[in-house]
A = this chain, B = another copy of it.
Amino acid sequence: MDAQPGRSVTSKVLALLDAFTPASPALTLSELARRAELPLPTASRRVAELVAWGALERGDDGRYRIGLRLWEVGSLAPRGLGLRELALPTLEDLYEVTHENVQLAVRQDVELVFIERIAGRHAVPVLTRVGGRFALHATGVGLVLLAYAPAEVQEQVLAAPLERYTPLTITDPGRLRRGLAEVRRTGYAISDRQVTMDALSVAAPIYGPEGAVVAAISLVVAQHRADPVALAPLVQAAGRTISRSLGTSYGSRRSAG
């Protein structure tokens, strides 16, 4: 090796998995090698082992995809399907009442990950994808997760440039900081056309058994429909219901590093 003498084998294996993204779920061996910054023979060897185990699958087109075995193991993540399954009945209730998009998300470092989405066919189309990531400073769920995040996470987000998605996106750290205080005061967050000009969202926190915010739930509605403040109690109630069900069966965990 030249630039990196002595990267651990484990990190190479994980780098290969990292190469797969929602934008590129199928890759050839050479693409994999390039993205993982590995020489081709090494990539070939590691990939062969991953395929043998079922972490990757090789399609008829010769490209590699994430394998079902890995999906299976991943589904054991308590903040993944575990949280999803506990929250699902409540998400469905909220959908039944409103017939709008319902989203469930958790924070991972300085981003959020969408765990579940219930999207009525008549509701506003949203850009998100289950399993996908997004910045914390624009969406309703993001604002909630950020507002209740540890101080060092907030500072990290506030210190970095805040990407602008629409003219209404908050990109000023000071304004964002005041917005977060407001979220903590009211117990809900409203993102009004800060992600797309078509939609606004109302989000509320979900608490784990230890009292920390572990997830957020939101309702995404078309920009012209309904008063978001009027919807907040509904979303908050759903958040509380889920919090309660977590209290009984959801295992404890540390906030994501």
Contact = CB atoms under 8 A, between A and B. Distances in A.
A70 B67 CA distance: 12
Nearest to A106: B68
Copy tally for this chain in the complex stands at 2
Interface in A102-118: 106, 108, 113
Nearest to A252: B60
Interface of A is mostly: mixed
A25 to B, nearest CB: 5
The interface size bin for chain A is: 35 or more
B59 A254 contact: yes
Interface string A25-45: 110000000000000000000
Contact of A131 (B8, B75, B131, B252): B75
B49 A81 contact: no
Please name the 3 residue pairs, one residue from A and one from B, whose CB atoms are nearest each other, closest first: A74-B74, A75-B131, A71-B80
Given A10-B9, A73-B70, A58 B251 contact: no
